[in-house]
Amino acid sequence: MILSVVDSFPPQPGIPPWPGVPSRPDRPPPPGVPSRPGLPPGVPSRPDVAPPPVLAPVRVWPDPSPWPGRVYERLFERRIVLAHGELDDEAATSLCAQLLTLDAERNEPIRLEITGLSAELGAALTVMGVLDVLRVPVRACAGGQIGGPALGVLAAATVRHAYPNAVFQLSEPQLGFEGSATSLNSREEQVRGMMDALYLRLADVTGHEADEIRADARRGRYLTVDEAIGYGLIQGLAAAP
């Protein structure tokens, strides 16, 4: 009978069995090589591996960026134009373009929603000039706080109404100049003429003297809806379109 070398010499302590040679069922694994629970004897266990972290579910919201533009388009289709925020030269150009487009399309009134509007003096006068030459009537509805030169935009509309939450402030525009003394004097004269045009328009629609309106603007006078109606700035409460 021929005995194999493997059967004659058991493996030394600390040395795993030879590869490819199965361990005998009646022979325990050599010392130093603990067995892994659930595995056959003689199979060395792997070091413990931490389970992967559990990630909380994340909700991915769709990008809402296209929706304001679509809403404005639907309002525009119904001949409703929205003016809000700060009216600077760029915003005034966009607003004038919308008004002129609607005026050229059909001979129907335009609804101008003025919400929380503030304006630079030059930008307000630009929009006022366009409102003066439109062929169709413009019905303005004011909401939020409207103040300073933005009141001129409201005053240039054919019909002037306000929502119950509206607040009006007669105030002077905030201006800043840089340059030589000569250019500053010239700029000051130009601004004075622009402010006179604003106060004259407000005087025309309210029935007050321009100097009285100028004095109220210097004091920063606030008007509620009822007070604005009595002042002559608006004609009544706004209704749904």
pLDDT in tens, 27-72: 555 555 555 555 555 555 555 666 666 555 444 444 445 656 788 8
Looking at the domain assignment, is residue 49 inside a domain?
no
In which band, very low, low, confident or very high, does the pLDDT at 1 lie, cut at 50, 70 and 90? very low
Looking at the domain assignment, is residue 7 inside a domain?
no
Nearest C-alpha neighbor of 163 from the set 111, 116, 225, 117:
225
Looking at the domain assignment, is residue 16 inside a domain?
no
Residue ranges of alpha helices (H) inside the chain are 5-8, 66-77, 89-105, 121-133, 150-155, 181-206, 210-219, 225-231
Query: Which structural domain range is residue 79 located in?
Result: 74-237
Can you give the pLDDT at residue 173? 83
CATH code at position 227? 3.90.226.10
Does 229 score more than 70 pLDDT?
Answer: yes
Region 189-209 average pLDDT: 93
Region 86-91 average pLDDT: 94
Looking at the domain assignment, is residue 212 inside a domain?
yes
Looking at the domain assignment, is residue 36 inside a domain?
no
Looking at the domain assignment, is residue 201 inside a domain?
yes
pLDDT, greater one: 177 or 103: 103
Does 240 score more than 60 pLDDT?
Answer: yes
pTM of the model: 0.69
The distance between the two most distant Cα atoms of the chain, rounded to a whole number of Å, is 132
CB 154 within 8 A of CB 233: yes
Can you give the pLDDT at residue 58? 42
Report the phi/psi class of residue 32: left, alpha or beta, with left for phi > 0 and alpha for psi in -120 to 50: left
What is the percent of the chain with per-residue pLDDT over 70, rounded to a whole number? Answer: 67
Looking at the domain assignment, is residue 1 inside a domain?
no
| Structural domain total, the chain | 1
CB 78 within 8 A of CB 102: no
Looking at the domain assignment, is residue 194 inside a domain?
yes
Does 4 score more than 70 pLDDT?
Answer: no
pLDDT in tens, 118-172: 999 999 999 999 999 999 999 999 999 999 999 999 999 999 999 999 999 999 8
Q: What is the mean pLDDT of the chain?
A: 81
